[in-house]
Structure 1
Amino acid sequence: MKEHYLAQSQSSLTGLLKRVGSLGSLLMLTPLVGMFGPATEGALAEERLCRGSLGAITVDNLRVPANATCTLNGTRIQGTLKVETNATLRATAIRVNGNIQAENATLVNVLPGSTVGGSIQIVQGGAARIDTVQINGDLEFLSNGLRLVATKNVIGGNLQAFQNTGGLSITSNRIGGNLQCKENVPAPTGGSNIVEGTKEDQCRRL
């Protein structure tokens, strides 16, 4: 049996070498096989839905689906946190390695003790409060319709507020990039912001 198995293996290897053309060509294929392995693993990263409350657990990616309410306390997110249409997020002491992305959300509150490795992007939604958060990237408010508050945050990139219509308070933030505000009605209020770059347009006196 052992001799028969070895003969079959040798025959299979010989056939493979003939198809490839040479042992050198076969070895050249090895890096290509390795390239597909990590891509497949990345594609299988888990996305968890949040309806209700989550505590001090770790997840890959998290999504608050349309019309849902999600409360997070001490949750760790290895990838991205997404907040969808008419959804509500209340997050305290969370850690997000990637971005927080909210589009058409009703409410987004990210509260003290939270850190975000990427950016926070709140677009075409309702109200938001970003309070005492460490943000390595940017904080962006774009075309939101209700009250927005950014206070006591440490922001590695820019704070940008464009075309918001519900009022915006920007107070006591430390910003590594620029503070940029345009076409907000009413104009933003606040002050005591420390900005390493420039304060621009509607926020030049904040």
Structure 2
Amino acid sequence: MSKIKMAVAGTVLGTVLAGPALAAPAFADDRTCRGTIRAVTVDGVRVPAGASCTLLGTRVEGGVKVERNATLVAREVKVDGDVQGEGARAVSVTGGSVVDGNVQVKQGGAVTVTSSRVGGDVQLDANRRPLRVDGNRVGGDVQVVGNRGGARLHRNLVEGDLQCKENRPAPVGSGNSARGDEEGQCRRL
């Protein structure tokens, strides 16, 4: 093979091998929130342990993670991923917010999901403070399991199942509509 052909072949091979590495998107870290993030676009949000975060009109292209003893207040937000909290003090998603994924809060405190659209599930598991799920459109299931602070479910349109069990006291509410099954403690809500 001539030197010119070898040089061209080497350049092509180098471009093929290096191309994907150069073209791969850089993954930015989640934005840490202590305080308020207003109407801007961010990749993801992390509320660190013990912190408080308010999102006002924020666009989140990833998810929102609320850590232990942290508080999230999200109003008029658009989240492409999930809103998740484990051991969070409080999680609030309100005011016409849109969450394309799930809202999942477990082993935490108070949870409020009102006047919002959730593309996936609302899962509230083993929380200790009052729960309020009012006036939402939920594309998946609403599951309220093993909570101890009381739960109110009112006027939710649920595409999947409305499931409640092992909550003390039993959830209260009315005007909910589920295309799937209404099960357990949610059967008459």
TM-score (norm 2): 0.91
Q: Distance in 1 between matches of 2:154 and 2:57?
A: 25
1:46 aligns with 2:29: yes
* Cα shift readout 1:140-192 (whole Å, capped 9, x = no counterpart): 00110110000000000000011111100111000000001111111111111
Could you tell me which of 28, 39, 48 is aligned with 1:56? 39
Aligned to 2:99: 116
How far 1:113 moved relative to its partner? Answer: 1.4
The 5 Å alignment of 1:10-89 reads: 10=4, 13=7, 16=10, 26=13, 30=16, 36=21, 40-42=24-26, 44-89=27-72
> Contact (CA 8 Å) 1:105, 1:124: kept in 2 or not?
yes
Structure 1 segments of 4 or more deviating over 3 A?
Answer: 9-12, 14-17, 32-38
Q: Distance in 2 between matches of 1:116 and 1:123?
A: 18
How far 1:112 moved relative to its partner? Answer: 1.2
Identity %: 42
Q: Distance in 1 between matches of 2:111 and 2:95?
A: 14
The 5 Å alignment of 1:127-206 reads: 127-206=110-189
What is the letter of the counterpart of residue 189 of structure 1? V
* Cα shift readout 1:119-160 (whole Å, capped 9, x = no counterpart): 100111000110111001000001101100000000000000
SS at match of 1:205: coil
How far 1:15 moved relative to its partner? Answer: 8.7
Structure 1: tracts of 5 or more residues without a match: 1-6, 18-22
How far 1:45 moved relative to its partner? Answer: 2.4
1:126 aligns with 2:104: no
How far 1:13 moved relative to its partner? Answer: 2.5
Q: Distance in 2 between matches of 1:104 and 1:33?
A: 44
How far 1:37 moved relative to its partner? Answer: 5.2
TM-score (norm 1): 0.84
How far 1:54 moved relative to its partner? Answer: 1.1
